[in-house]
Structure formats: C-alpha cells, structure tokens
Amino acid sequence: MRLTTKGRYAVTAMLDLALHSDEGPVSLADISTRQGISLSYLEQLFARLRHFKLVKSVRGPGGGYRLMSSTADISIAQVVDAVSESLDATRCEGKGNCHEGEVCLTHHLWEDLSAQIHQFLSDITLADLVARNDIQSVRARQDLRVVTMQKDESHIAVSEIL
C-alpha cells in the first residue's frame, strides 16, 4: 500500500484547483502559497497529473492549470493513482510470487484490502469534497490568510485589514 506525502499533496493540490477553478487558470505558485507545498515539487506532480489527463496547462503569463473534466468526474483514486505507483497493498505488486516465487499465505488478504481501499477512494469525487463543510471552512481560513500575506507584501500593515 503506497499512500505517501506525494499522493496526499496531489489530492490537496487538485482540491485547491477545484476550489479556485472559477477564477481562470490557477498557477502552481498560487497553490504553493496556499497549501505550503514546494513549487518544484508541484511541478513534478502536475507533470504526472497532466500525463494522466486530469489537468490541462495554459502556458505563459496568466497561465496555470485547469481541470480537464468536471469536478464530479474526477475521483480521488484517479488522482492518487496518477502520482503514486499504485495503491496496491500486496508485497508482490499483484504478481503473487513474494515467497519463493509462489503466492504467500496472506496474498489474498492484501488483495481484498487493496480492492476495498480503491473502491472507497473511487467513490469520492472532487465535487464531493468541495461540497463538504469541513473543507469549506478550511478553505475560508486559507484564502483569508493568503490575502493577508499579499497585503503584507505590499507593505500595508496587517492591522489595517483586520
């Protein structure tokens, strides 16, 4: 089972994209600022997301990324699959040969678990997440903070906008 920072970042970034998709293309720099993910790392992740046709890029100034399909048509499983090798829980990666070339005692158990996890994440779409209250409240906090930071960079005292 491979669910690492990479997969989590990818989902976070895609969700950020979904949340801001009505404002035109979203640049990786924006996502980087809002979500605290390194820009270079995001570039790596989006290369794969683009390869898997989950996003499309718009180059040049004012460019960024857009979702390729509607938020209701992109599942979390797709996103994780795109960046992680797979979210297979077996040791043999499905080949059934991890103990002296033969199937090990627990192979079928891990297969079942993998199927379970995949099903769960396939049933959740970006649209589902966007609709959740807990996520909207996190979003609100983050947007506020980013605005604050931008103002701050323009040498306007934080107190003025609070």
Chain residues that interact with ligand FES, rule: CB under 6 A: 90-92, 96-99, 103-104, 107, 110
Give me the least distance between CB of 79 and a copy of itself, in Å please. Answer: 10
Q: Under the criterion CB under 8 A, does residue 21 sit at the interface with a copy of itself?
A: no
Residue 28 engages a copy of itself in binding (rule: CB under 8 A) = no
| Type of residue found at 133 | N
Helix ranges, 20-157 (H):
28-35, 39-51, 76-83, 107-122, 126-131, 133-153
* Residues of this chain, 33-62, that bind a copy of itself according to CB under 8 A: 35-36
Cβ neighbors of 77 (< 8 A, separation 6 or more) are 87, 118, 121, 122, 124
Of these partners, a copy of itself, DNA, ligand FES, none, which one is at the site of residue 124 (CB under 5 to 8 Å by kind)?
A: a copy of itself
Which residues are at the interface with DNA (CB under 7 A)?
Answer: 2, 4-6, 9, 27-29, 37-41, 43-44, 46-47, 50, 57-65
End-to-end CA distance of the chain: 45
Q: How far is the CB of 59 from a copy of itself (least distance, A)?
A: 26
Partner in contact with 96, chosen from ligand FES, DNA, a copy of itself, none, beta carbon below 5 to 8 Å by kind = ligand FES
CA distances from 149 to 15, 36, 52, 65, 142 (A): 21, 13, 34, 23, 11
